[in-house]
Chains A and B, each alone.
Chain A
Amino acid sequence: MNSDPKLERIAKGNALALCATGTWTASFAPVLERIVADAEKLAGSPQSIFIDVSEVAKLDTFGAWLIERLRRSLTKGPVEAQIAGLSANYSSLVDEVRRVRATTAVDSGTVTITGMLEQIGRTVAGVGGTVAGLVDMLGAVLAAWFRVLIHPRSFRLTSTVHHMEQVCWRAVPIIVLITFLIGCIIAQQGIFHFRRFGADIFVVDMLGVLVLREIGVLLVAIMVAGRSGSAYTAELGSMKMREEIDALRTMGFDPIEVLVLPRMMALVLALPILAFLGAMAALYGGGLVAWLYGGVEPEAFLLRLRDAISIDHFIVGIVKAPVMAAVIGIVACVEGLAVQGSAESLGQHTTASVVKGIFFVIVMDGVFAIFFASIGM
């Protein structure tokens, strides 16, 4: 049924006929393009030219366009080229194609040095915008919070509880497992290296201080940023894409109050709980390894732990948790609400949410470290 397309040149007296035969469809497009490019060289010949398509077995948009392209380029010469022998079936298709305007070549963004420098400049300038956006969101959330304090009935308890379940309750197994393992690793490494100078028991001091002050809360915050921050961004972003947030606004609801505040509340409540559970799991894991690998009896471990740490260490750790939660939540919500219409944009903002969330968590941790050092805690 399908036969190779051809374009034969037949001189008919004064005129030149180009007889198209075979299947002029998309599957033969490479051959067709070559044939047509070949025939286009005839442009400028003084003879009048007919493109005879009566023998074409099958024609589709690709074939019809190529014939039209040929006709156009031949017409540039002194005489006009004609299409002849169109069957009724195909004439409407050729007519349709004839209406197509010649295309302008599209500049597909070439990479230049200046372009790259411009991109870097824009990114750096965008950092200021990021900080401004975060402060803006913080203000909006606080304003919504005060509104809720004045009218407690407008607080969305159901939504908050739902998000608590998502970010707190459902996160417990993975958080406990990972912090347990980290506790084990710290204890093992500590014992392995301290044993060389007979300071095995000091591994308890290290574990206690490290886990309660730093690792417990920092690790949990990073995991929450990856787990819940990304979820917040994706949820809000897809709601933004489907105009759900616009719908809320037109119904007279404040998206900050309805969507952002319950999520923020859930996160601020969840992170201290998770950080506490994480610290306990890490201490337990460390104690277990100290006993089984280092031979430190549980009673000795607990006695040493009581001497090594004070309530200050615990407070220093746990005080950071809500602040880090707020940072993660604000970054996630800002990114979520910045999503544009495409799936790609959703992906970019979700990535940005996690990366920025973790970055700011670590920056906050540094700020806290300086603060607590200067007040002597």
Chain B
Amino acid sequence: MTGEMQNPIIRVRDITVQFGSTRVLDGLNLDVKRGEILGFVGPSGAGKSVLTRTIIGLVPKVAGSIEVFGVDLDSSSTSQRRNVERRWGVLFQQGALFSSLTVRQNIQFPMREYLRVSQRLMDEITMAKLTMVGLKPEVAERFPSELSGGMIKRVALARALSLDPDLVFLDEPTSGLDPIGAGDFDELVRTLQRTLGLTVFMVTHDLDSLYTACDRIAVLGNGKIIAAGSIADMQASQHPWLRQYFHGKRARAVMG
């Protein structure tokens, strides 16, 4: 564990992922620093979600190595891996809430598995998490099918945060939300990052999120990271896709 503070929280080296004969990620390198919010952008179908899923371990890779919290996920033992998984939270694109459990049970599910906590404390922490993500306590007894899209995202975030992770993966957290809701969500991610000291890995398409929430931006193209840096670096870049992305009509509208 020594030196964990300085090292990047995620270190991805030469990752290659292939589906059949199509190579989605090709020798990709990426570092995520402790405490930052990394925005991850790229054209649709470039493999942003694939990279996220590869890091989490849902998609097998052909080559390369992934270290999270300084643990190499390929050579780690089961208990090491469980320890890593306990320290990260994942917000899936569709929320992926357990449909047969209520909101309260969804949020308590990881707690029951990993912690030995009394029911009273779990209930109280659930309410705390719901308040943090901006939901009313009444929501707790509802089922996922009775929630709106924005509420599902918030509950999914509350579940991702239920064990107080050090790292959260957000896969398009603001897609499908109205602009005000999306803005609130960016604000929420920022606040949580400040209060809980989170590191956030956020796949997004939302220019607003990039401007308001992210410390650093990485751009995926042709299976590699084509640029990484601050929003100013991105705007200064001469890469054609980046120019189009950050200087297009919508980008100008966001920058006002």
Q: How far is the CA of A342 from the CA of B98 in the complex (A)?
A: 8
**Segment touching A, from B26-34, B38-46, B123-131:** B123-131
Identify A341's interface contact among B104, B140, B145, B195, CB under 8 A: B145
Contact residues of A between 101 and 143, Cβ < 8 Å to B: 101, 103, 105-106
Identify A60's interface contact among B121, B191, B196, CB under 8 A: B196
Contact residues of A between 13 and 30, Cβ < 8 Å to B: 25-27, 29-30
Contact residues of B between 83 and 137, Cβ < 8 Å to A: 98-100, 104, 111, 115-118, 121, 123-125, 127-129, 131-132, 137
Q: Contacts A30-B116, A342-B100 given; indicate if A61 touches B164 (C-beta within 8 A).
A: yes
Total residue contacts A-B, CB cutoff 8 A? 85
Q: How far is the CA of A345 from the CA of B146 in the complex (A)?
A: 14
A362 at the interface (CB under 8 A from B): no
Q: Contacts A341-B143, A342-B100, A344-B100 given; indicate if A101 touches B164 (C-beta within 8 A).
A: no
B contact residues around A235 at 8 Å (CB): none
CB–CB B117/A29 < 8 A: yes
B82 at the interface (CB under 8 A from A): no
A244 at the interface (CB under 8 A from B): no
Interface size bucket, A side? 20 to 34
Q: Contacts A61-B129, A92-B194, A342-B143 given; indicate if A103 touches B123 (C-beta within 8 A).
A: yes
A93 at the interface (CB under 8 A from B): yes
Instruction: Determine how close the nearest CB of chain B comes to the CB of A239; give it in whole angstroms.
Output: 15
Instruction: Determine how close the nearest CB of chain A comes to the CB of B197; give it in whole angstroms.
Output: 7
B144 at the interface (CB under 8 A from A): yes
B contact residues around A342 at 8 Å (CB): 99-100, 143-145
B contact residues around A101 at 8 Å (CB): 127, 131, 137
CB–CB B145/A100 < 8 A: no
Q: Contacts A26-B117, A93-B195, A344-B100 given; indicate if A100 touches B127 (C-beta within 8 A).
A: yes
Instruction: Determine how close the nearest CB of chain B comes to the CB of A123; give it in whole angstroms.
Output: 20
A343 at the interface (CB under 8 A from B): yes
B contact residues around A296 at 8 Å (CB): none
Q: How far is the CA of A251 from the CA of B143 in the complex (A)?
A: 28
Identify A62's interface contact among B127, B143, B144, B164, CB under 8 A: B164
Q: How far is the CA of A100 from the CA of B146 in the complex (A)?
A: 23
A1 at the interface (CB under 8 A from B): yes
Q: List 8 A-B contacts (CB under 8 A).
A: A61-B161, A61-B196, A62-B125, A96-B132, A100-B127, A103-B124, A342-B144, A343-B99
On B, residues with C-beta under 8 Å from A are 1, 98-100, 104, 111, 115-118, 121, 123-125, 127-129, 131-132, 137, 140-141, 143-146, 161, 163-164, 191, 194-197
